[in-house]
Structure 1
Amino acid sequence: MARRPAVVNRLGAIPVHPERDPAHPLVVFGDHRFCAGELMEVQKMAGPHMHSQIELNFVLEGAMTYWFDGRELTISDGRLCLFWGMIPHQVIDRHAGTRFICLYVPMSVFLGLANLSQFRDSVFRGAVIEALDLRPFDREIFLRWREELLRGDERDIEIVRSELTARLMRIERDGWRDLREQGSALASVGQRDAGWVLHVEKMLRFIGERAPDDISADDVGRAAGLHPNYAMGLFKRAVGITINQAIIRHRLDTAQSLLISSDMPITKVAYESGFGSLSTFYEAFQRRFMEKPVQYRQRMRAKGTVAQAST
């Protein structure tokens, strides 16, 4: 079923569906820049959101708790974590006065790390990566990166890009763990695939932003300017799953966010998430989450995560 395209507002936030206004809508941000968060004091969020960049959180003081893909994860001071922003996430609690540095890294930087296959694969499959070896100077460096990114000088940004890329490589070398205990090997992409990073980034963005619409694997390939067959092979080698699996994954991500952030009827959740039939939605949801949507909502409501209709 074809759907109207979402409208991007001046802040770059895309509501899942423009004509509805639930108390706490899932928001997709259309900003793909290499940038830093302006606020350092952590605030609780009204509902889940998504964005295309890799997000790095370095907690300076206090502790913060994320709802992330159906789990609650707490990150305390002195810890460095990163995750893919297209997995719905929400800060649901924090200690008073918690401060952090939040950096947003375009997928092109991350995809270009040719030797970090398992590391990349874990991130794109929904891992929350924690660096196990932090250096005494990390705090000072992250503060400087934030300042230079906020300043916006292109020369500074390129330097930060190089330095941050090296830091990611050190995380992979020095040790990391997946806080959700996920991860698997990522198939390598050969050097003959010239420009593959740009193509894969375009496909990932298109899926992340358009999965709730009536799109196919062919549409994803065309969005990257590729023949569908070549696009499907390239995507599978780079990300480790098929384009269709990625589309379903994002539709389920949207569905679980709507289940926890609103009292929207299950049928409408399925429609808003991009599923053409209720039976297809139920089958896919139960396969991934091992329970029915209504049970999932009830369990999350019992934990206080789901927004009440009266709020």
Structure 2
Amino acid sequence: MDESFTDPQDNHNAPADHDGPLLEGEATLSFELRRPFYMPEYHWHQQIEVNILYQGTLTYTFNHTDVLIESGQLALFWAVTPHRVRKTSDDALMGIINIPLNMFLSWPLPQEFVQQIMNGGAISATHADVISFAENQRWMATYREGHQIRNQIVQEEIFLMLRRLCSYNYDVEMFSFMRDTALHHTHYTGYKNVQLILDYIANHHNQDIKVEDIAAHVKLHPKYAMSLFKNMLSVSIRQYLIIMRINHAKVLLSNTRHPIKNIAIHSGFKYPSSFFAAFKSHTGMTPQAFRAQSQQQKTA
């Protein structure tokens, strides 16, 4: 195994804790390969975090609950969940992939998997059949080159890595991404309301709901609910609702022969025309083209 990795001393020890909105500098895919280090405080950020432990052990703490990650395992979670490394062995070596939330939500991954992640799930699995050390190194080196086409290929390969992960058995532990009251975080109520909004959208996105319905469910004024959600997640309630509906439609397009107009309605779009416009804007292709591409990938 190549021992070239980022030394923790080059990272100025643990990352700085956040206080307030989580989103600055988190819009691009990023990679690390380094020794994990003890974090005295919780931290959180908006990205989907993938940790691959190549050797050694480490113990993560999610809101006061310990999770042991051993050599040969990967862990994946939405990093708005407060987390810190509580313990690590001297020989631990870890690959880290931070996936922007919008990128993750744009991929046609199984709906159950996406909802588990978006509702506070920490996925763990054996990584040997999912991602290799050599792949991790190649992705990191390629992204440093900044070549647009090759970067796009890396993004597609990471999507396929997650699809591969979903095809295997994996474990999931559910955590609240709310800051526990014991953390004395001033935004506790705001995060609690955002989680309630996410839960409601996860369970009702394929129905004819509006922002007003979502705000009423959490007993907030619609304008305040929209401002709170956008400030904390850097995506509007409407955008997130559309993303969830389009992902629902992608699954149906890939795995059923239902007419596209029916899929639009079953995904929560009131009018097929609004579905076609949103799908094309979000994915860059029509629903018909997406279905044809999915069928080609299955037969390739």
TM-score, length-normalised on structure 1?
0.52
Encode CA deviations 1:74-115: one digit per residue, 9 max, x unaligned: 111111111111111101110012111001111122212334
Deviation at 1:171, TM superposition (A): 1.0
Query: Structure 1 residue aligned with 2:79, among 85, 90, 112?
Result: 85
Query: Structure 1 residue aligned with 2:165, among 164, 167, 171?
Result: 171
Query: Structure 1 residue aligned with 2:146, among 148, 152, 161?
Result: 152
Task: Return the letter of the residue paired with 1:168.
Answer: L
User: Unaligned 5+ residue runs, structure 1?
Assistant: 1-11, 18-26, 193-214, 240-311
Q: Percent same amino acid at aligned positions?
A: 20
Task: From the superposition, tell whether residues 136 and 173 of structure 1 become closer, same or farther in structure 2 (CA, over 3 Å).
Answer: closer
Task: From the superposition, tell whether residues 157 and 186 of structure 1 become closer, same or farther in structure 2 (CA, over 3 Å).
Answer: same
Task: Return the letter of the residue paired with 2:166.
Answer: E
Query: Structure 2 residue aligned with 1:34, among 26, 29, 34?
Result: 29
Q: How does 1:220-259 map to 2 (within 5 A)?
A: 220=228, 234=242
SS across alignment from 1:114? coil
SS across alignment from 2:44? strand
Task: From the superposition, tell whether residues 157 and 218 of structure 1 become closer, same or farther in structure 2 (CA, over 3 Å).
Answer: same
Which residue matches 1:218?
226
User: In structure 2, how many angstroms separate the alpha carbons of the residues matched to 1:29 and 1:46?
Assistant: 22
Matched, 1:64 2:67: no
Compute the RMSD of aligned alpha carbons: 3.8
User: In structure 1, how many angstroms separate the alpha carbons of the residues matched to 2:63 and 2:123?
Assistant: 14
Encode CA deviations 1:50-96: one digit per residue, 9 max, x unaligned: 11110111111101111112211111111111111111110111001
User: In structure 2, how many angstroms separate the alpha carbons of the residues matched to 1:124 and 1:47?
Assistant: 23
Identify, as 1 or 2, the structure richer in helix.
Answer: 2
CA contact under 8 A between 1:54 and 1:83: conserved in structure 2? yes
Task: From the superposition, tell whether residues 175 and 233 of structure 1 become closer, same or farther in structure 2 (CA, over 3 Å).
Answer: same
Task: From the superposition, tell whether residues 232 and 119 of structure 1 become closer, same or farther in structure 2 (CA, over 3 Å).
Answer: closer
Task: From the superposition, tell whether residues 62 and 29 of structure 1 become closer, same or farther in structure 2 (CA, over 3 Å).
Answer: farther
Task: From the superposition, tell whether residues 61 and 167 of structure 1 become closer, same or farther in structure 2 (CA, over 3 Å).
Answer: same
Task: Return the letter of the residue paired with 2:52.
Answer: F
User: In structure 1, how many angstroms separate the alpha carbons of the residues matched to 2:85 and 2:230?
Assistant: 35
User: In structure 1, how many angstroms separate the alpha carbons of the residues matched to 2:159 and 2:244?
Assistant: 24
TM-score, length-normalised on structure 2?
0.54
Task: From the superposition, tell whether residues 150 and 69 of structure 1 become closer, same or farther in structure 2 (CA, over 3 Å).
Answer: farther
Aligned residue pairs: how many? 193
User: Unaligned 5+ residue runs, structure 2?
Assistant: 1-14, 177-198, 209-222, 248-300
Deviation at 1:236, TM superposition (A): 8.2
Which residue matches 2:104?
110
Task: Return the letter of the residue paired with 1:218.
Answer: M
